[in-house]
Amino acid sequence: MQNFSYKNPTEILFGKGMIAELATRVPLKTPVLLLYGGGSIMRNGVYAQVKGALKKHHVVEFGGVEANPFFETCLKAVTLVKKERVKFILAVGGGSVLDAAKFIAAAALFKGRDLWAILEKHGENVTAALPVSTVLTLPATGSESNGNSVISRQATMEKRAFASPHVFPVFSVLDPTTTFSLPRKYVRNGIVDAFAHTMEQYLTYPSAAPLQDRLAESVLQTLIEVGPVTLAKPKNYEARATFMWSATLALNTLLGCGVPQDWATHMIGHELTAFYGLDHAETLAIVLPGVWQYKLPQKRAKLEQYGRRVWNVKTAKAAIAQTEKFFHALGMPTHLGDYGIDAAEAAEKVCARFVERGSAFGEHGDINAIAAATILRLRA
Ligand SMILES: [Fe+2]
């Protein structure tokens, strides 16, 4: 097992009716930014519940945060935060709203002039941030309980991530009933995203970390079990609750303690979203099997372990096939061609981006521009 430090400061407030907790937990004496997305919280009653809990608070609202939140939108929110002297940010929505809140929180206190530098330096230059808390309405990203954020820049079609211990939420409210009305596609995406997060920390090479392996496998098995149920029965509280908690555990930094991590699938996937507008999870379902195919010799031992323990199959190839079958059963395509995207063109574009940035990812740091292009060509 590798050395690690582990600290997750986010308090999780889980269950029915927990939004009411905002009344006592959000500071009363300072202006609070209420950040949200496209307005689904108006339709599903979450906005009314939040406003009800905050009726004694000084609330400044900013809505319209888009999926794959734009840097340009965040800048407008930063201006509002400074103008209104906001001291606390409450993000209500899915991972995109939460990610935007983290960026806004860091940007509001950032010393430099160029806020894009936060993304270019992956957050290493973030030394402080406004406190952020969240009400999660879409299980997927794990953003409710980690220090990660992904922001897209419209002007340059870039999608970049940053991480900082300063942007872990202070608390996050997870009420599974807020997910009852989610469109099917969002649920499918959330299952695949949580599955991929687990894999990025698990499917590498054996590293004498049996507990982390078993933890990861239990999250995978739970998602496989509960994913189809929550799609078939959207108002089944137990299934929604289990899915919601699984997505949090998939990326609250626990699974990654002391083990090598991959993340090549995410990094290649971000480029596909930037260039072609695919949903984040759609890119993962395409790229993940490709990374495994490309790295089959190095990943064979873990693929076989995963296959044996999770799917009861013997070979690495069968484990990959089972994974794709699972994605298909959720209604998730796994090839570029399914979206009418030319694999050769995608390979060329992503390759150029990786060359430009000198990027190399994966547990061996060998998923460079050439490797990324090869992986994408495998996914025609
Ligand atoms: Fe993700």
* Distance in Å, CA 189 to ligand 1 centroid: 10
Is beta strand 132-136 parallel, antiparallel or unpaired with respect to 158-163?
Answer: unpaired
Q: What is the pLDDT of residue 190?
A: 98
* Distance in Å, CA 54 to ligand 1 centroid: 31
Over residues 147-158, the pLDDT tens digits come to 999 999 999 999
State yes or no: pLDDT of 179 exceeds 90: yes
Determine the average pLDDT of the residues in 331-355.
Answer: 98
* Distance in Å, CA 377 to ligand 1 centroid: 22
State how far Cα 8 lies from the chain centre: 16
* Distance in Å, CA 83 to ligand 1 centroid: 33
How far is the C-alpha of 260 from the C-alpha of 368, rounded, in Å?
Answer: 17
State yes or no: pLDDT of 166 exceeds 90: yes
* Distance in Å, CA 283 to ligand 1 centroid: 10
Q: In which element (H, E) is residue 33 found?
A: strand 32-36
* Distance in Å, CA 143 to ligand 1 centroid: 9
Determine the average pLDDT of the residues in 151-173.
Answer: 96
Q: What is the mean pLDDT of the chain?
A: 97
Q: In what order do the strands lie in the sheet with 59-62?
A: 11-14, 171-174, 132-136, 88-93, 32-36, 59-62
Q: What is the pLDDT of residue 221?
A: 98
Over residues 91-125, the pLDDT tens digits come to 999 999 999 999 999 999 999 999 999 999 999 99
**Burial class of residue 317 (count of CB atoms within 10 Å of its CB; 0-12, 13-18, 19+):** middle
* Distance in Å, CA 196 to ligand 1 centroid: 7
Determine the average pLDDT of the residues in 303-307.
Answer: 98
End-to-end CA distance of the chain: 37
* Distance in Å, CA 249 to ligand 1 centroid: 13
Strand segments (E) across 63-189: 88-93, 132-136, 148-153, 158-163, 171-174
* Distance in Å, CA 194 to ligand 1 centroid: 7
How far is the C-alpha of 137 from the C-alpha of 192, rounded, in Å?
Answer: 17
State yes or no: pLDDT of 39 exceeds 90: no
Q: What is the pLDDT of residue 304?
A: 98
Determine the average pLDDT of the residues in 306-314.
Answer: 98
* Distance in Å, CA 142 to ligand 1 centroid: 8
Share of the chain above pLDDT 90, in %: 99
Both structure tokens of 8: 């997750």
* Distance in Å, CA 55 to ligand 1 centroid: 34
The packing angle between helices 237-250 and 184-202, to 10°, is 40
Contact 329, 281 (CB under 8 A): no
* Distance in Å, CA 266 to ligand 1 centroid: 6
* Distance in Å, CA 141 to ligand 1 centroid: 5
* Distance in Å, CA 2 to ligand 1 centroid: 24
